[in-house]
Structure 1
């Protein structure tokens, strides 16, 4: 084999036997991908000397024994995945050398012992999954220093002690699962200050005290504190039938409305007041529902004559009923309209705002109701900070409705469109959007099994929340890629994408792969930089944004090869950048990175384009 080989990928090949001993003579080996085989035996000690490794993925084999100490601590590592083997031993302190590690996924093994305090040195760590092992002891007190954490999964171990209270710095954390351990003491009130936390599972521990009222601040899609030693009154935000299973197994929890939880005690005076208030509210509610039924009956049935003829699929725990949303699909709430349907802004009585997309009637099309439901259910399982959250779907005879979290700042397309008076984006926001959108797309390609290709990636399908955090959205054309031995990509039955963003090879192959999305992402990067449409008239006849940018970049590099584009001077970069941006806020090193990545992504041949995983690495590279 070639000693200059940078990647070994032999996944899904039913390989058996031990791992080869002599991989490290390939001094440039960066990616080691040998997952979902039948590899057995131990990991050779020599793997700890593979100093060039950045990506290790050898999960779902039959490996046993101890991970070599040197392998934990390779300085350039960005991704370690040992999931679902039979490995044992502990994480060694040498892991502190892997300061650029972004994902540490070791679930489903027999690792044991305490987590070393050196794990707190992994300041770039975004996802840590140590679930279903034999880890024990207290969590390191310094774990609050991991400011980049987005997902923390530690369920199914033997951890003890308190859940750390000094966790307010986990500003990017979306998922926290500490279930099935032996954590004790109270639930930290500081959890309520985590701004993007949507998944919280603390079930099957030894937690005591009350459920903190501060958790009411969270926008939780998943909440579970069952089978602990909690006591006191269930907070109003969780005192709903929907959360009952998540509260059971706490003998001293009480509720005013949920059975079989014991009732909370009230004074006689409080009872009289409550009865009076509830009677008044009940009267108002009856009148309101009667009026609502009269004016919105077509929506309540989701476009059908009988409620039994439509189907609701909920993907997350929500504090409202579908009727509350469907009744608001009226013209005064309309915020957008496209080829597939109309989008409405829906304000709920709880104060929450959601976005509801009602698809146009699709009679006569080949897609059946079951095919639509199957695809939407797949997307409903996606959980990522850079992908919009799907709450539930409604499928009826006339309408198909999807309900999402509402994004305060609309789409990136609207923001970049000067005619629509969008919010101005400075360079730091644009760069953060580029990185976040790349992470969302990389999740679809590399972390979903099987992979999902978006097929219509463009600024209008990148939504921005109140902090301008990007969320990939609109999966109307998305396809799950089902690779098999004879076919690595698929012929699509309809046009894949929007004009200007479609990869050039689609015109003659009618096939779509992950590399089709990579091309579209490159176009989005160029739009972020220039604020010009893919086929802007200012480029001249028969010229698109890729040719225009490439010509300027090559010209500034002295007309040399594309390898010289990295030397593009500042004056040429200013020629490409949106003129509205204040140059004092622009990091030209970041601009150069974005330009190089955009041109790599929009290469003519798919095989020469990077993967989205590699794109994320290039954008984050310092």
Structure 2
């Protein structure tokens, strides 16, 4: 009498014979790891004494026969890695004996069987990579014997149940790539044996629970691609067995905890695509086991610590899209294990480290920096290194020049002070010399005479020849000026005002003085200005990257300027100096002005009131925000919406989908990025409100962009412009 049939790992071909249903005394059937095809015979439902049924890694198709519900004594039911479709068996755990249930990597659909909720005998469950559907908080119960469960890559929704913390023997909980929402329950700490927790690519919100730090057995923690806020809890530093930590693609902020250096077993650390700021803690360099470090797409600043070069086992390093500056640490020359590196889009300069990972890195991993050099296609070659004798001679020469410079400056200051004390009279204005306001040297920030700077600029631009023009607007034309000292500046030559009234320049001068004192990495540096009857101009830091319009107009650059970068550009309005400095106010005329802003960005009320205030800047910001996500100036869209009456405008907007308005050269945004794009679009339309008082303030704009998280009530593809017109940030 045959009771067990094990034919696993053979080369059996063809269909499973229907006559197998005649072996009614079978208690075990294992046909795994054979290239069997066709459907599971319904006759297997006749084998009512079966205790285990295993069809792993075959090529079976079709649905699971309902007659298999007769197998009420099953302890093992494993049908993973096939091509099965349809629903799971309803009476799968009818008798409460099932311990192992594996149906991973099929195309199964439908709900979780109700019999599974109270199946307290379960020890191991694998249902990943199917299309199963259900409320995760209702379809599963408490499993005191459960050791492993993987529900990843399905369509489960709802909030994570506190009951998982009552599964005291659970070592692995995997639920990635579903639609789970709500907060991560702190009660998970009850699953004290948990070593793997993977909740990535879902929709949980709130902060990372502090109590997760009590799960001392954790060696793999994946919470990436969610909506988590706040900083990394200090309590997580107690997870001394952690080997893999992935918190990427959330909204985490603050500084990176130096306590991460206590993870002495950590192999992979991924904190990318968050809003971490400040510098990299040097303690990261203590994690000698680290093989992969990804800090890309954050707000990190400062120099890259030398200690990072002490990570001798590091294989991949991503520091891209931050604000790191200075040269690459010399310690990087010792990172012989490094195989992949990305330091693009920072402010780094100087030679590349002399190791294979950098010398053979693609240009895309190095581009967008201030002045990296090396023997890599796309980078400038570095200057030839000096020998020791040259260095010594150069050092003496620099010292001599420094001494002379110091004495020269002191002499110059004493001379200026003497002249000032002796004469104290107004400097005579002529048409051949730059004018001064209140006897101040308008280029004093450069520590030398404004007349000299003026003459240098006129000379190097050949009296503002068109060949040096790099841009312009309603307020002025911008020229590139390569000064004799090697410095490159952007000179914005102002258009003449309608009344050419520069007599009341005191208020404007005060504003310019304030701008010259600003020190911020996201603000273009204003060096100074010059007022002259022939030429009046502002002198700015010169940025090689070009204008936003230039980037958006070039198809090759558009792909690099992806949705994350566009959202971040709107959030931080990086290197934007003004929207046209539209206000040259006469001190005796309140805020009334001759229009000087860039057309297409100016608020519509300026056409009839000519009164400039903060709400005009808010409108300009709204235009800019739309331009960034549309990939072109939104003038036509704004005109079509504003030209209609209020009711017909809403009707027009209801017929326009957001997805059709966005830059069609990029693939549509997805998941978290899509929600951020919706926030930007919604805020942009609020800033474009036809009633100025209904627009938000710039402070509210900044707050919303930095803090607001939006859970889409509808599918991204169904959102219309009309649904974006309501945002609660107006001011009175």
TM-score, shorter chain, exceeding 0.5? no
Sort the TM-score into its range (normalised by shorter chain): 0.3 to 0.5
Bigger relative contact order (CA 8 A; separation at least 6)? 1
Q: Given the two structures, how large is their TM-score scaled by the length of structure 2? A: 0.35
